[in-house]
Amino acid sequence: MIQDIDQILIARGAISDRVRELGEAITKNLEDVGEHEIALVAVMTGSLIFVADLMRHLPMKIQIQLMTASSYIGKSTKSNNDPMLGKLPEVKGMHVLLVDDILDSGKTLTRIRTELEQLQPRSIQSCVLLRKKLDSAMHVPCEYVGFDIEDEFVVGYGLDYDGYYRNLPDIGIISP
């Protein structure tokens, strides 16, 4: 598997450190919500590993809710125009922390936030592990960003190419 990776972009140690820092920032910002419930909404499948590590740094009462979204079809390295969303979680009256793996076109995160807002949560904040340095991504509201990266196709730490490489502990650049 590692032989398919052109370059390690972010090593596992740097990922671990940054996830801990994100957890500390989120904890500080959500510590005043009181008795209101917090829903961590994980966008599957890409955020699986990120969410598992991040929630260990959130020492508060939270619900984990999962939803699916897909903007890549098959072996494509470009997202399509209309992300497909699965069933939306129940978030009415809750503080929502929406967690996704990567923000590139911005279409998926924007659509999910718009759909979740219709469900009348108390608040919505977004957290992504990676954000590409693209105008489309940089203008999408996102309160917590792990790393800003160049426009490369990346795999590992939950991100995939055609369903593979999610188990790579680092984030690497691949040339499919």
Structure tokens at 1: 């598997």
Residue 91 and residue 113 in contact, taking contact as beta carbons nearer than 8 Å: no
| Burial class of residue 91, CB neighbours in 10 A (0-12, 13-18, 19+) | buried
Catalytic residue among 104, 135, 148, 162: 104
CA 170 to chain centre: 16
Is 151 labeled as catalytic in the residue annotation? no
Catalytic machinery residues: 104
